A and B are shown apart, each in its own frame.
Chain A
Amino acid sequence: MGSVKVNNLIKSFGDFTALKNIDLDIKEGEFFALLGPSGCGKTTMMRCIAGFEKPTSGKIFIGDQEVEDVPANKRNTGMVFQSYALFPHMNVFENVAYSLNIKQLNKSNPFKQASIYARLLNKRLGKTPKDIETKVMEILKYVELDQHAHRLTSELSGGQQQRVALARALVMEPAVLLMDEPLSNLDQKLRHSMRNTIRRIQQELGITTIFVTHDQEEAMSMADRVAVMDAGNIIQIGTPTDLYSNPATPFIANFVGTSNILKGTVVGEENGLYHVEGEGFSLKSTKKSTKKEVDVIIRPEHVQVVASDSIIDTADTNVIQGTVLMSTYLGSIVRYDVQVGVYQLVIDTTYSSGESIYEAGKEVKLTVAHERVLLI
């Protein structure tokens, strides 16, 4: 097991810089997600750590070791490829046993090596040693594939192939587990159950894991910490709740969950409350802002919708007038599109049966706690 540190990493392909000065500090046993839109450099980052790309400059540490001169096959990183990259000519058992066989090969004398090569090339040419077999079956049982050990991987479902890939990476007890969009080839339902499986395994084994995804929900629900990337830069690193409640930029606010973003100007401060005004609204916020021109960010679920004649205590709450444009019933929540000044806000309210839903055209009041108004 090990920590992963990345210092001032730059990776260029010709004129194009895919990674611009990346710093990461991933703790031992941490589940760390790299989140960002497609093309932002996540795979490149991963491949630098695994040793398949040579950084243009910068340093990478796995554990305490600086790995520049360590070739990919000696880095002891377990990679789960987006396409799984299972060996098509080997069955499930042989796929998983591969790294153990190689480990044995690397510490054998030439004579023994020949026999290991023979059995890797054709299983009839030699028997897998007991210790390897035990270990493989153990891990297969762990991912619930022991029944399928002697199937060809092409005969398995997507979810099963995914678990073979995972088992194959785990069996070598890597210092760090690297997963590149592992769930993107699965259907919606499987994706949810695999999320749980991966998270459970990671927790039980306590293995340092770097998980690449472009799906914010995946990153936010699984990871201990998330690094949000855009165009070769890391924009913010934090726990999911951190990112959600204190996004560093409007980009992140938008990327980690839906946000209402309004342009505003800070007009004054009074008792720790900042006054912001913009086209058609005036709000107070407990969040400190050093800038004058700010982005005001309000999460859909932090707004309540009440009848326009309601009386509201404004001690720690903002009240805004608006007109319902549309209301959508989504089961446990109701989503409103509400016109406020020049902005259309999205608002999610929890719904319990029997409550009335405000129809389109209805005048309503919106309430937002002062502390829920973010200024960036």
Chain B
Amino acid sequence: MKKMKNAFSGLTLIKWLIIAFFALFMILPLISVFLVSFTGEPINLLGSLVDPAIFSSTVEKFQNASLDNYKQIFSNSGYADALKNSLFLAFTVTILVILICIPLAYGIARTKMPFKKTISALCTVPLIVPTFISAYAFIIMFGRAGWVTQIYNFLGGEGMLIDPYSMVGIVMVQVFFFFPYALWPLVAAFKISDVSLEEASQNLGAKSWFTFIFVTFPLAIPGVISSALLIFTVSFSDFGTPIILAPQNLNLLVVEAYREIAGFFNWGGAAILTVVMVIVAGFFFWLQHLFTKGKNYGSVSGKPKQQKLVEHKGLNTVLSIYSFIIVLVPLFAMLSVALQSVATTWGRSLLPNGYTLDHYKTIFNGSLGNITNSLVLATGALVLSVIIATFVSYFVVRQNSSSLDFMTSIPLVVPGIAFGIALIQTFNAAPLQLTGTAVLLIIAYTIRRLPYMVRSTMGSMRAIKQDIEEAAVNLGATPLTAAITIIGPLLLPGIAAGSVLVFITVIKEASVSILLAPPEWAPMSLAIFQNILRGEFYTAAAMSIVMIVIVLVLQYVAGLFTRKQQL
């Protein structure tokens, strides 16, 4: 009897609650969607547990299960095209990003190129902007009435320089807005690759370019490959860009899945696409994990050696100009959105025809609700993440709970649109009918962003020595009280950093918002998306700017926090 009581002490109970939470809102939906890919009809696993009628209908559906959906994906159908196109897109973007980033990373890591600080700072711009806004910005620039197109035509070009509504357009947006994900790992790789080897090569009389191609670059290859795999997964899972830019005749997995569910309520089709997405993304994530495992780039040879930076004037100037071109594209894109948000009208000319703040007024009169919705939802997700992440890192670090460690990594692998589809179909019916409620939306945000939060709190948790906690228990505190009064406060810096990240990413989140948000809870991202679809570009632009400003302010506040912690 005493043993029983021990097993269900406060902390253990919490652990089981968290596991139950993940089982219910993550594992169960993923399993359901996997089953639906065979049955072709929605099944209600929870319902089957409580209601015999639902149970028998579920059994019947299983009896009719078939591999039809799978046959379709391997035959020459729209699904197969979607898979091919998605892989092609991710592959192209990956190659381009790596090619673009190598000179940029080399410049930042190893040279004294002019304006290095400014360039580095501008490299963070793409990370602030959600992709569906970037995609929309490209329309303002490269669309039929865009200002780049005007310049192009003025110089004698015909039609559009690039059609944003095409594969090329999608590739462009992803390349220019995803390159920072690869840039910083590459900079790190160039920084640590062994300088003494390079010096040896140069002492032997080798030319600089020869040294770069045959010594410097090969040493950075592990970093390059792992960044490439990361970009591949990011591009493959991205929903924002394709949903805005993909034309009717271009099939992509994410768009196709969205259309199946939102347009046709084709559960089987959406399910099979979801399964394929998860498998592909999971595979590449696994590859990347395999590649980085056991390699701690920062500490290969203990202390990084002081490196001599390249001072070659000509090379540095060229690198600097090149870098500016790369970082100016996203910057111009954002300036275009800003200009559009204050334009009376703007089309077929370099600059707007007039300026006004009316669009902002419209937002604050009509769409204030979207802003507060975003803030409320993000706050909800934040609170839930903080609670879960704190306990999860406790269990993982202190009790070596590998099951929880594994579970909180799963969301990294599942594309947002896939997760959204899995949730919708699982919670569509009683006994737990949550589809279309803010609760499910908040849960979805929480699970999707939890990995960031857990990583952040886990770092802080590792820094807290075990004996501090034991001291509290020795002084009479139960493990739960010790967790609340000692561990909690000491985790605060990690929690604060993670919270800001969660809050920002939730506000930026497109796929889950678009799929799951009920009208009365529409957040900013959904409002912008709908405005773009309806052709209300000016209000979309104003709303985008509001969102970006909120994100910037939060990031600034987070910066203050972390600086204060370091003092």
Instruction: Name which of A56-64, A95-103, A280-288 contacts chain B.
Output: A95-103
Q: CB-defined interface of B454-498 with A at 8 Å, one 1/0 digit per residue?
A: 000000000001011011111111110100111011100000000
> For window 104-156 of chain A, which residues contact chain B by CB distance below 8 Å?
105-106, 117, 120-121
Which residue in B465, B468, B471, B489 is a CB contact (below 8 Å) of A121? B489
**A194 beta carbon closer than 8 Å to chain B:** no
**B2 beta carbon closer than 8 Å to chain A:** yes
Q: Which residues of B contact A105 (CB under 8 A)?
A: 481
Q: Which residues of A contact B477 (CB under 8 A)?
A: 73, 98, 102
Q: How many A-B residue pairs have CB under 8 A?
A: 71
A101 shortest CB reach to chain B, Å: 8
Asked whether B474 lies within 8 Å of A50 as measured between CB atoms, the reply is: yes
A182 to B477, CA, bound (A): 22
Contact count band on A: 20 to 34
Asked whether B473 lies within 8 Å of A73 as measured between CB atoms, the reply is: yes
Asked whether A83 lies within 8 Å of B467 as measured between CB atoms, the reply is: yes
**A85 beta carbon closer than 8 Å to chain B:** yes
Contact count band on B: 20 to 34
A297 to B47, CA, bound (A): 83
Asked whether A172 lies within 8 Å of B475 as measured between CB atoms, the reply is: yes
Which residue in A83, A106, A117 is a CB contact (below 8 Å) of B476? A106
Asked whether B471 lies within 8 Å of A69 as measured between CB atoms, the reply is: no
A88 to B471, CA, bound (A): 12
Which residue in A69, A88, A98 is a CB contact (below 8 Å) of B2? A69
Asked whether B485 lies within 8 Å of A117 as measured between CB atoms, the reply is: yes
Q: CB-defined interface of A71-94 with B at 8 Å, one 1/0 digit per residue?
A: 111101111011101111100000
Quick one: closest B residue to A122, CB to CB?
Answer: B489
Asked whether A79 lies within 8 Å of B471 as measured between CB atoms, the reply is: yes
Asked whether A102 lies within 8 Å of B489 as measured between CB atoms, the reply is: no
- Take A85-B468, A102-B481, A117-B484 as given contacts and tell me if A78 and B489 are in contact as well, using a CB distance cutoff of 8 Å: no
Asked whether B465 lies within 8 Å of A89 as measured between CB atoms, the reply is: no
Q: Which residues of B contact A73 (CB under 8 A)?
A: 473-479
A72 to B9, CA, bound (A): 14
Asked whether B476 lies within 8 Å of A121 as measured between CB atoms, the reply is: no
**A225 beta carbon closer than 8 Å to chain B:** no
A19 to B478, CA, bound (A): 27
Quick one: closest B residue to A106, CB to CB?
Answer: B476
Asked whether B485 lies within 8 Å of A120 as measured between CB atoms, the reply is: yes
A162 shortest CB reach to chain B, Å: 14
**A168 beta carbon closer than 8 Å to chain B:** yes
A366 to B230, CA, bound (A): 80
Q: Which residues of B contact A120 (CB under 8 A)?
A: 485
Asked whether A77 lies within 8 Å of B481 as measured between CB atoms, the reply is: no
Asked whether A98 lies within 8 Å of B474 as measured between CB atoms, the reply is: no
Quick one: closest B residue to A120, CB to CB?
Answer: B485
Asked whether A85 lies within 8 Å of B489 as measured between CB atoms, the reply is: no
Asked whether A89 lies within 8 Å of B484 as measured between CB atoms, the reply is: no
Quick one: closest B residue to A75, CB to CB?
Answer: B474
Quick one: closest B residue to A171, CB to CB?
Answer: B475
A75 shortest CB reach to chain B, Å: 8
Which residue in B2, B474, B476, B485 is a CB contact (below 8 Å) of A103? B476
Which residue in A71, A82, A99, A121 is a CB contact (below 8 Å) of B475? A99
Which residue in B475, B478, B489 is a CB contact (below 8 Å) of A89? B489
Asked whether A52 lies within 8 Å of B476 as measured between CB atoms, the reply is: no
Residue of B470, B475, B490 with most chain A CB atoms under a 10 A cut-off:
B475
Q: Which residues of B contact A98 (CB under 8 A)?
A: 472, 475, 477, 485
A258 to B259, CA, bound (A): 86
Q: Which residues of A contact B465 (CB under 8 A)?
A: 83, 85
Q: 10 new A-B pairs (CB below 8 Å) besides A77-B474, A82-B467, A102-B477?
A: A71-B478, A76-B476, A83-B465, A85-B465, A98-B472, A105-B481, A168-B475, A169-B474, A169-B475, A172-B475
Chain B residues with a Cβ under 8 A of chain A: 2, 6, 465, 467-468, 470-479, 481, 484-486, 488-490
Q: Can you name 29 A-B pairs with beta carbons within 8 Å? A: A52-B470, A71-B6, A73-B473, A74-B476, A76-B476, A77-B474, A78-B474, A79-B471, A81-B467, A82-B467, A85-B468, A85-B471, A87-B468, A87-B471, A89-B490, A98-B475, A98-B477, A98-B485, A99-B475, A102-B475, A102-B476, A102-B477, A105-B481, A117-B485, A120-B485, A121-B484, A121-B485, A121-B489, A169-B475
Chain A residues with a Cβ under 8 A of chain B: 50, 52, 69, 71-74, 76-79, 81-83, 85-89, 98-99, 102-103, 105-106, 117, 120-121, 168-169, 172
